[in-house]
Amino acid sequence: MLFNSYEFIFLFLPVVLVVYWSIAVRQRNWRLLWLTLASYYFYAFWNYKFLALIIASTAIDYWVGPKIYAAQDIRTRRAWLSVSLLSNLGGLAFFKYYNFAADQINGLGGMFGLDYLAPVLNVALPIGISFTAFESLSYTIDLYRGQVKPARDFLVLACFVSVFPRMIAGPIIRYAPFAPQLERDPRTRAHADDAMNGIYFFVVGLAKKVLVADVIAGYINPLLTGNAYLQLGLLGSWGVMLGYSFQLLFDFSGYSDMAVGLGKTLGLDLPQNFNSPYKAASIIDFWRRWHMTLSSWLRDYLYIPLGGNRHGEFATMRNLMLTMALGGLWHGANWTFVLWGFYHGIWLVLNHQAAKLRLETTRFKFLLHPAPTRAATFIIVVFGWVLFRSDNLAMALYLWQSMLGLHGIDWHNLHTLSYGFWAMLGVGFGLAMFAPNTWQIKITPSPFLYFQF
């Protein structure tokens, strides 16, 4: 059930909101129970067979949480934390990465003439498993660090793990700021601003998804399917990859905006996930603006525990590269995602090194002007999206070669892509580069004009 589907907008959502706010006048447990059951239904709508998975994972974390928190010595705390790590990462590894690992094993075995083949399983990927795994881990790791207290009851944790607005594509939420919102009575903050902003975020996000991202996708997807990309030269490859860059931005940020809007209609605040990322003046700046909740999660639960920048330049570079590679793998089970992570890791390392040159004190300070830095950053990001979108390395290499003009200029693709595509490319460029983002133009309701008389 997609947020932009008729069954969600005209059936599921109205029923959830009417019952939720009707129950809000009663006790907290009924409200949380309804929201949890509605979220479980939303989850089961995709594949009911996986409903037991999210319930079992939540139950394990609920059981192990107090044991982590109460453990007196570090070894016992680590032992209990490992149960949560095994539960959450084990499920993620099996469903998302098992077949990828099996393919690598089979490939290596074939190189050495080994007959054994690791079985490849026909297993569907549970919806949102990458998000729920990270969110659940943030809960138990924060317990391990003593930064939060165990969930008071199962309903609070179950609602935190399953709450439907962020199920499809985030944002990634954390227990510490989110659980108190579930505990409080939503009527204490129910007012016109939240209602208007909830509708505003959802409608704008829906428009981004349906009117921009999906329209651009209709033009470029046929040219990125199968071997169709082999017809692309300089103009076609740049057109397609720019189109994909804007499609990805408006699709992903659109879903995040819709999630924020849905949260507000329930009296819940979800975090901002995008902040005009294509206006970034450096790769460091880009990762402060793009998928912000993932960036902060990787920083707090991977980069800093690895040592961050505390042990010299080499260790800092190693930690950055490892964090970004694993962040790339989180997006999908393919070497192209891993290399996309490495690609951004390299640019982050170079960005950190360039910052030490203090160009603002030299005759090259003109390079720090917003126009060239934004343009350079955007081009770097677009080249990176080639890896993110490609089915394999051969496709990525061909597209890179085409973008460098090694496969001709392909003037004919000016017409193949149609004038409608180039117009949508202009719309995407204008919105991404010059327009304020959704969070910068939040609605502040004003009084009726007639009341002034």
* Pair of tokens at residue 19: 């019952």
> In the annotation, is 331 catalytic?
yes
212 φ/ψ angles, rounded to the nearest 5 degrees: -115, -65
> At residue 448, does pLDDT exceed 60?
no
Answer positive or negative: Cα dihedral of 387, 392, 396, 397: positive
- Alpha carbons 440 and 438: distance in angstroms, whole number: 6
303 and 172 belong to one structural domain: no
Residues 203 and 173 in one domain: no
Within this chain, do residues 71 and 147 fall inside the same structural domain, yes or no? yes
29 & 120 share domain: yes
Asked if residue 1 belongs to a domain, the reply is no
CA 167 to chain centre: 11
Helices (H), 276-412: 283-289, 292-298, 304-306, 313-331, 335-355, 370-389, 393-403
Report if residue 448 sits inside a domain: no
Domain final position from 188, 218, 241: 188
Q: Tell me the pLDDT tens digit for each residue of 73-109.
A: 999 999 999 999 999 999 999 999 988 888 888 888 7
Rounded Cα distance between 83 and 160, Å, is: 19
- Both 19 and 122 in a single domain? yes
Where is average pLDDT lowest: 183-187, 203-207, 261-265? 183-187
Give the mean model confidence (pLDDT) for residues 339-362. 83
Tell whether 376 is covered by a domain.
yes
Which amino acid makes up residue 122? N
- CA separation for the pair 155, 182 (Å, rounded): 10
The per-residue pLDDT of the chain, averaged, comes to 88
Between 90 and 191, whose confidence is greater? 90
The burial class, CB within 10 Å (0-12 / 13-18 / 19+), for 133 is: buried
Q: Report if residue 446 sits inside a domain.
A: no
> pLDDT tens for residues 212-228?
999 999 999 999 999 99
Q: Would residue 347 count as lying in a domain?
A: yes
Same domain, residue pair 208 and 334: yes
- 205 and 174 in a common domain: no
Question: Are 108 and 52 within one domain?
Answer: yes
Residue 382 clears pLDDT 70, i.e. is over it: yes
In this structure, the answer to whether residues 41 and 184 fall within a common structural domain is: yes
Number of C-beta neighbours around residue 408 at 10 A: 13
* pLDDT score of 348: 94
Residue at 453 is within a domain = no
Catalytic residue among 191, 291, 311, 331: 331
Tell whether 274 is covered by a domain: yes
The residue out of 170, 188, 206 marking a domain boundary is 188
Q: Token pair for residue 114?
A: 């080994």
Task: Give the pTM.
Answer: 0.91
**Number of folded domains in the chain?**
2
Q: Does one domain contain both 110 and 256?
A: no
Task: Please give the share of the chain, as a percent, with pLDDT higher than 90.
Answer: 64
Q: Could you tell me the pLDDT band of residue 118, with boundaries at 50, 70 and 90? A: confident
Say what the pLDDT of residue 188 is: 65
Is 288 among the domain residues? yes
92 and 10 assigned to the same domain? yes
Q: What is 263-278 written as a DSSP string?
A: HHHTT-PPPP--S-GG
Q: Name the 3-class secondary structure at 232.
A: coil
Of 188, 222, 250, the domain-final residue? 188
CB 38 within 8 A of CB 164: yes
- Are residues 202 and 329 both part of a single domain? yes
Tell me the mean pLDDT in the region 348-376: 75
Q: What is the pLDDT of residues 40-53, one digit of tens each?
A: 999 999 888 899 99
What are the pLDDT digits (tens) for 239-296? 999 999 999 999 999 999 999 999 999 989 999 999 999 999 999 999 999 999 999 9
Domain that holds residue 292: 194-441
